[in-house]
Amino acid sequence: MPAIAIIGGQWGDEGKGKLIDLLAEKASIVARFSGGNNAGHTVVNEFGEFGLHMIPSGVFHSHVDCLIGNGVVINPRVLISEIETLQGRGIDVSRLFISDRAHLIMPYHLLLDALEEDARGKSAIGTTRLGIGPAYADKVSRLGIRFGDLLDKDLFRRRLRAILNHKNTIISRVFGASPLSFDEIYQEYCNYADRLLPFIRETSLMVNEALEKGDTVLLEGAQGTMLDIDFGTYPYVTSSSCTAGGACLGIGISPLQIDKIIGVYKAYTTRVGGGPMPTELRDATGDMMRERGKEYGTTTGRPRRCGWFDGVATRFSARLNGFTGTALTKFDILDTLPTIKICTGYGLEGTVLDNPPPNFATLEKCRPIWEEMPGWQTSTHHIRNFDDLPREARQYVKRIEELVGCPVDLISVGPNRDQSIIVRPIL
């Protein structure tokens, strides 16, 4: 079997972690390809509840190799602490591997993320302040330091000295903040290198060899398509390519090797941080979604903005990624509602848009065109077959399939691995 990409179809937190944990049973490799510890993937299974930030969500299956690909930016302090937390809870992490080409998040990235966000004032992006944007910016500016660079301490010392001089000039002269100490960073990162050395590999080769053998590889997306650096609601986006295209770049495989691309959608919409969200509800229904859905960020604890399913943004992301199927999650959160709305188009100054406009200011002016459907008002937690869902629930799924233009393969009716309705087997 070939590679299967699991991609967030909205603004992140769609339930990618749950799906990967479920599917990994039949996979040999689970590989993260983008983002950093801005991601928070929750997995609930027989070992307990876990919030993963860096380590792929396949880690609970002892036969699975978990890879962190070249497209990921890594804070080694956070990664070590995540490894230790998992080990402390009895999870085996000996099959974790880190790409030698993955970029490091350095202390100046965290500092600059905070300084830049503060400087943006009211236009702040609402980043996680974990240094993600500055780390990707350095990668593109060719000022990054990669994991492989840590293997040669002399090279690392020379690179860090040159780059830190440049960063300290910006930190002190542009922002008036205190410069960072070379000796402290050098020593700290040499310690991390010693600790993480056994995990470093050429992960692209590992994936390609596995695919040649016919093994199944899951490509674990982070964030969501509407946060993508190119196609998201720019500039209110993250700094990486969260789409299926990004999966090839971020792990080092050919696009022809991806056999299936599964879009993960919540049955409604959430977003954390700033930026337009056309279907946002600032009312009791939105509050209900937040409380019932426990919509508080896994990474920052911030309340997530909640609203109805956005048929325009999701159709856009299905086309952009070429979704071959979708997983519809958190379906149970809608169980109590008498009626449910779906956005079928964006109204803008007398016209109807079928696609999100590229400019965030225009998107902010768009008003959703609603379609209202009856709710099912009965619990779906225990349901495991599509045909056992109430008629109104099946109608809702069918309408989403029509709007998105893609079949629903799986419906998730609770956070646990087994709380899943398989409509069409993904693996």
Q: Return the active site residues.
A: 13, 41
**Site residues for ligand IMO, window 245-274 (CB under 6 A)?**
272-273
**What is the footprint of Mg ion within residues 12-31 (CB under 5 A)?**
13
On whether the CB atoms of residues 58 and 86 are closer than 8 A, the answer is no
> How many residues bind ligand IMO, per CB under 6 A?
24
**Three-state secondary structure call for residue 329:** strand
Q: What is the DSSP letter of 35?
A: B
The sign of the torsion formed by the CA atoms of 304, 305, 308, 314 equals: negative
Measured distance CA(193)–CA(29) in Å, rounded: 24
Nearest 10 degrees: Cα torsion 386, 387, 391, 393: -10
44 binds ligand GDP per the rule CB under 6 A: yes
Query: Residue 415 binds which one of ligand IMO, Mg ion, ligand GDP, none, with CB within 5 to 8 A depending on kind?
Result: ligand GDP
**Which is it for strands 339-348 and 309-310: parallel, antiparallel or unpaired?**
parallel
Q: Which is nearer to ligand GDP, 89 or 367 (CB)?
A: 89
* Region binding ligand GDP by CB under 6 A among candidate stretches 39-47, 69-77, 208-216, 234-242: 39-47
Contact between 71 and ligand IMO per CB under 6 A: no
Q: Is 15 in the site for ligand GDP (CB under 6 A)?
A: yes
**DSSP-derived pairing of the beta strands 305-307 and 269-271:** antiparallel
CB atoms closer than 10 angstroms to residue 284: 8
Tokens of 168: 């300290």
| Residue 38 touching ligand IMO (CB under 6 A) | yes
The interface partner of residue 111, options being ligand GDP, ligand IMO, Mg ion, none and the CB cut-off 5 to 8 Å by kind, is: none
* Binding residue for ligand IMO, selected from 9, 12, 245, 307, defined by CB under 6 A: 12
CA nearest 111: which of 179, 39, 187? 179
> Degrees (nearest 5) of the Cα angle 316, 318, 323?
165
Q: Are 388 and 339 in contact (CB under 8 A)?
A: no
Q: What's the sign of the alpha-carbon dihedral 237, 238, 244, 246? A: positive
Give whichever of 41 and 101 is closer to ligand GDP, judged by the CB atom: 41
Is residue 369 packed enough to be buried (19+ CB in 10 Å), middle (13-18) or exposed (0-12)?
middle
Nearest approach, Cβ of residue 233 and Mg ion (Å): 17
Which of ligand GDP, ligand IMO, Mg ion, none is residue 333 near (CB under 5 to 8 Å by kind)? ligand GDP
Residue 40 found at the interface with Mg ion (CB under 5 A):
yes
Which neighbouring-strand residues pair with 310? Answer: 343
Measured between alpha carbons, how far is 152 from 66 in angstroms, rounded to an integer? 25
288 binds ligand GDP (CB under 6 A): no
Distance (Å, rounded) from C-alpha 291 to C-alpha 316? 28
Shortest CB 37 distance to ligand IMO, Å: 9
Pick one of 9, 10, 18, 244: the residue that binds ligand GDP (CB under 6 A). 18
Residue 274 interacting with Mg ion (CB under 5 A): no
Output 38 or 204, the one with its CB closest to Mg ion: 38
Q: How far is the CB of 274 from ligand GDP (least distance, A)?
A: 18
Distance CA 324, CA 407 (A): 8
Per DSSP, what are the bridge partners of residue 6?
A: 220, 262
Stretch that binds ligand GDP, among 14-22, 233-241, 278-286, 392-400 (CB under 6 A): 14-22
Sole window of 37-45, 104-112, 339-347, 349-357 interacting with ligand IMO (rule: CB under 6 A): 37-45
- Total of residues contacting ligand GDP (CB under 6 A): 23
Is residue 9 involved in binding ligand GDP (CB under 6 A)? no
- Give me the residues that bind ligand GDP (CB under 6 A), please: 8, 12-18, 40-42, 44, 294, 298, 329-333, 412-415
- Give me the residues that bind ligand IMO (CB under 6 A), please: 8, 12-13, 35, 38-41, 125-128, 130, 132-133, 222-224, 227, 238-239, 272-273, 298
